[in-house]
């Protein structure tokens, strides 16, 4: 009889995540209760926020408990439904975690059309990362036509959408990415106006060249020295959407020296979490879906095969080893 | 024949300001041209922003040129007017700089009523510092009733108004000041709900005690380690009005370690300069004037006697040696 494969949190990392922080277990396939839906997960999304949930430091969300299934966004197929809005065969997106099967109340699932757009994309550009890009760009950065936007981790699931969306809204998009391959992809495939390889060792000079008119909007995913350098290049009355600080998730001290720029340039800096205002999701998903179908927003996926590959894939993601949206194919 | 006494910038400081950076000179009393007004300055305002104007580092305003009269807000008496809106004997506020006499186009002067409110107060709570407090508090911090506001440099010209205004608008006001005398004044005279002496050496503990419900609004004038500590105490969806960084104006490196709090707590941080939106001045001055006349906002002045005392008084101000609004009485 088939079992549910699941990965639980075995221990909390103190600095970098290690595979020993996870444990693969199996259990019976759960039975859906009233209003619940049984889903066979096909795709698991891996995202930087997961590092925060592995820690018990105070944050915006509760940590995963030791021994509990790791949290995560999933896309899959309804096998059995006790909820009136779902029937077997529906494709749904939810947050069923690192496991091959899951049950959830129907109200926490979103039915998606996997014919017009591939199912996996609902975990990327038309899912949480896409909405994150949309909210941070349009609600916080609010670029005006002709302004310059810079986004860090530009080839990633969020950054790639930020730059393309900024261009659609009339701004000039400059990416920061690690290595020539990612930069070439950001320029040639995604069509950014410029991309800076921060590993090339000439960030200050390259940035000056790529942003001759300074920076009006910064969509920050990384933090640390790069963030500091970018702050020093901001224009008067510019905006920073602070979305992530992935370079600082493992205990590194990354002090910010350029806070003076926030004062002198009257910068508005806003930290945000995509789930803060759920009313923004429907308009975001509608716009993003249209751009994906029309080919105006392109995306790339890194796929790890099988649930057992998830820990190594997350570790790689946290080190910038992924290329595009990191997924795990659950079969 | 009487001469104009003036202080010019003799050299640029590289770290702390020294008296040798200034030079006292005299010149003929200027003659007003078309639309100009000749003013005998009675009061000179000393303010932290002056440190920035002495430097030629890129900032929001042009630096004072070597040999030019130091910039500064002034209050005085009209002696001769070629402008239709002013007549001899009017009391006016302007930016005539560090000198006993000045001419300015009438459009740059503001006529004030020195009977209801003392003339010097137009350089303090009903002048630039008061409007700074009003804009940063109401437009950026926007405290809701019952929320906790913290303001640094709480006994100063800006900070003292911030806390009292916050209370008028229903918030709980907590000040940070240096030394027991200033803290006692902030509590007993200004009526703040709490005041923390950062020099007492127990900032973390004292802060926890003074802000049992965390911080919803931070009005930041100082920067450095205190700012960092306060950031770590901010609540979800809190606001920071970044008004000044006086601890960092002399070349000190004051890295900010707690930027993670901006992300995790979705903090909105906004740098601002009071002259950015001049349309805010009339409503601010109207409200502040009413509070001063009614005794709802109290203030305190540090007065240096005579123009020659201005350099030492500014140096003291930059080191936190003033107590309340720092003025120079020009006689």
Residue written as token pair 């994309």:
A121
Domain layout of chain B by residue ranges: 4-124+300-329, 128-271
Q: What is the pLDDT of residue B270?
A: 98
Q: What is the pLDDT of residue A250?
A: 73
Could you write out the three-class secondary structure of A59-111? CCCCCCCCCCECCCCEEEEEEEECCCCCCCCCEEEECCCCECEEEEEHHHCEE
Q: Encode pLDDT of B148-195 as tens digits.
A: 999 999 999 999 999 999 999 999 999 999 999 999 999 999 999 999
C-alpha distances (whole Å) from B252 to each of B16, B151, B227, B248, B291 are: 10, 22, 14, 5, 38
Q: What is the pLDDT of residue B22?
A: 98
Smallest Cβ distance to A257: which of B227, B255, B272? B255
Minimal C-alpha gap between A318 and chain B (Å): 17
CA separation for the pair B53, B12 (Å, rounded) = 9
Q: Encode pLDDT of B112-142 as tens digits.
A: 999 999 999 999 999 999 999 999 999 999 9
CA separation for the pair A196, A181 (Å, rounded) = 11
| Residues found in chain B | 331
Cβ neighbours of B59 in A, within 8 Å: 264
Nearest CA in chain A to B245: A260
Tokens in use for A220?
């920050």
Q: Average pLDDT in the A112-119 region?
A: 95
Coil vs helix vs strand at A102? strand
User: Could A259 and B273 be called an inter-chain contact, meaning their C-beta atoms sit closer than 8 Å?
Assistant: no
B105 contact partners, CB below 8 Å, separation of at least 6: B35, B36, B37, B83
Q: What is the pLDDT of residue B248?
A: 79
Residue written as token pair 């340039």:
A265
CA separation for the pair B302, B325 (Å, rounded) = 6
Torsion of CA A307, A312, A317, A323, to 10 degrees: -80
Smallest Cβ distance to A256: which of B58, B248, B259? B259
Tokens in use for B97?
């700089």
Q: Average pLDDT in the A281-296 region?
A: 97
Chain A, window 271-300: residues with a beta carbon less than 8 angstroms from a chain B beta carbon: 271-273, 276
**Which pairs count as long-range contacts for A201-208, CB under 8 Å and 24+ apart, including other chains?**
A203/A229, A204/A229, A207/A233, A208/A233
Residue written as token pair 């659609």:
A168
pTM: 0.93
May I ask the CATH architecture of the domain B4-124+300-329? Alpha-Beta Complex (3.90)
User: Could A60 and B269 be called an inter-chain contact, meaning their C-beta atoms sit closer than 8 Å?
Assistant: no
CA separation for the pair B76, B101 (Å, rounded) = 9
User: Could B271 and A270 be called an inter-chain contact, meaning their C-beta atoms sit closer than 8 Å?
Assistant: no
Q: What is the pLDDT of residue B165?
A: 98
Q: What is the pLDDT of residue B135?
A: 98
Q: What is the pLDDT of residue A76?
A: 98
Q: What is the pLDDT of residue B40?
A: 98
Q: What is the pLDDT of residue B60?
A: 86
Where residue B94 falls (left for φ over 0; alpha for ψ -120 to 50; beta otherwise) is beta
Q: Is A326 exposed, middle or buried (0-12, 13-18, 19+ CB in 10 A)?
A: buried
Q: What is the mean pLDDT of chain A?
A: 96
* pLDDT of B7 over the 90 cut: yes
What beta strand segments (E) does chain B contain?
A: 4-9, 22-27, 36-45, 74-81, 91-94, 101-105, 110-111, 148-152, 172-177, 194-197, 215-220, 234-242, 268-271, 301-305, 325-329
Q: What is the pLDDT of residue A58?
A: 83
Q: Average pLDDT in the A3-21 region?
A: 96
* pLDDT of B1 over the 90 cut: no
Given pLDDT bands bounded at 50, 70 and 90, which one contains residue B262? very high
Q: Is B14 exposed, middle or buried (0-12, 13-18, 19+ CB in 10 A)?
A: exposed
Q: What is the pLDDT of residue B97?
A: 98
Q: What is the pLDDT of residue B322?
A: 87
CA separation for the pair B158, B74 (Å, rounded) = 17
**Interface predicted TM-score (ipTM) of this complex, two decimals:** 0.92
User: Could B266 and A256 be called an inter-chain contact, meaning their C-beta atoms sit closer than 8 Å?
Assistant: no
* pLDDT of B90 over the 90 cut: yes
Smallest Cβ distance to B260: which of A248, A260, A270? A248
State the helix-helix crossing angle for B157-168 and B281-293, rounded to 10 degrees. Answer: 80
> What would the DSSP string read from start to end of A155-219?
TSHHHHHHHHHHHHTT-EEEEEESSHHHHHIIIIIT--SEEEEGGGS-HHHHHHHH-TT-EEEEE
CA separation for the pair A267, A235 (Å, rounded) = 8
May I ask the CATH architecture of the domain A4-123+300-329? Alpha-Beta Complex (3.90)
Given pLDDT bands bounded at 50, 70 and 90, which one contains residue A259? very high
Whether the CB-CB separation of B307 and B153 falls below 8 Å is answered with no
* pLDDT of A150 over the 90 cut: yes
User: Could A264 and B223 be called an inter-chain contact, meaning their C-beta atoms sit closer than 8 Å?
Assistant: no
Lowest mean pLDDT: which of A28-32, A276-280, B28-32, B252-256? Answer: B252-256
Q: Encode pLDDT of B194-234 as tens digits.
A: 999 999 999 999 999 999 999 999 999 999 999 999 999 99
Torsion of CA A13, A16, A19, A24, to 10 degrees: 40
Same fold across A4-123+300-329 and A128-271: no
Phi, psi of A230 (to 5 degrees): -65, -40
Whether the CB-CB separation of A36 and A104 falls below 8 Å is answered with yes
Q: What is the pLDDT of residue A22?
A: 98
CA separation for the pair B133, A318 (Å, rounded) = 42
Terminal-residue alpha carbon distance, chain A: 17
State the helix-helix crossing angle for B224-231 and B203-210, rounded to 10 degrees. Answer: 40
Smallest Cβ distance to A259: which of B223, B263, B264? B223
Chain B, window 239-268: residues with a beta carbon less than 8 angstroms from a chain A beta carbon: 242-245, 248, 253-257, 259-260, 262-268
B189 contact partners, CB below 8 Å, separation of at least 6: B298, B300
Q: Does B225 touch chain A (CB under 8 A)?
A: no
Question: What is the H or E stretch that residue A180 is in?
Answer: helix A180-184
CA separation for the pair B127, B121 (Å, rounded) = 7
Pick among 3.40.50.720, 3.40.50.1860, 3.40.1390.20, 3.40.50.1000: CATH of A128-271: 3.40.50.720
Provide the percentage of residues in chain B whose pLDDT is more than 90. Answer: 92
């Amino acid at each position: 009889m088939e079992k549910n494969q699941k990965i639980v949190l075995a221990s909390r990392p103190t600095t970098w995540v290690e595979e020993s922080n996870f444990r693969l277990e199996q259990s019976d396939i759960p039975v859906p209760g009233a209003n619940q839906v049984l889903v066979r997960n096909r795709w698991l999304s891996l995202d930087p926020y997961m590092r925060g949930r592995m820690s018990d430091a105070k944050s915006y969300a509760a940590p995963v408990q030791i021994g509990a299934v790791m949290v995560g966004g999933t896309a899959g197929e309804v096998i059995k439904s006790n909820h009136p809005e779902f029937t077997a065969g529906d494709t749904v997106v939810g947050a069923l975690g690192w496991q091959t099967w899951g049950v959830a109340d129907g109200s926490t699932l979103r039915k998606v059309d996997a014919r017009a757009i591939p199912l996996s994309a609902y975990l990327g550009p038309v899912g949480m990362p896409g909405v994150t890009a949309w909210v941070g760009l349009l609600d916080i950065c609010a670029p005006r036509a002709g302004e310059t936007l810079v986004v860090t981790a530009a080839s990633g699931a969020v950054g790639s959408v930020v730059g393309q969306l900024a261009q659609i809204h009339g701004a000039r998009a400059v990416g920061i990415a690690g290595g020539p391959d990612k930069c070439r992809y950001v320029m040639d495939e995604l069509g950014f106006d410029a991309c800076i390889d921060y590993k090339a060792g000439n960030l200050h000079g390259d940035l000056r060249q790529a942003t001759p008119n300074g920076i009006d909007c910064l969509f920050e995913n990384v933090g640390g020295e790069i963030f500091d350098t970018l702050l020093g290049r901001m224009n008067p009355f510019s905006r920073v959407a602070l979305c992530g600080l992935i370079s600082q998730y493992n205990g590194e001290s990354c002090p910010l020296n350029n806070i003076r720029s926030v004062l002198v340039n009257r910068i508005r800096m806003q930290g945000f979490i995509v789930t803060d205002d759920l009313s923004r999701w429907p308009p975001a998903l509608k716009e993003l879906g249209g751009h994906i179908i029309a080919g105006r927003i392109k995306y790339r996926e890194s796929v790890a095969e099988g649930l057992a590959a998830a820990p190594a894939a997350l570790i790689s993601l946290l080190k910038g080893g992924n290329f595009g949206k990191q997924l795990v194919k659950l079969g």
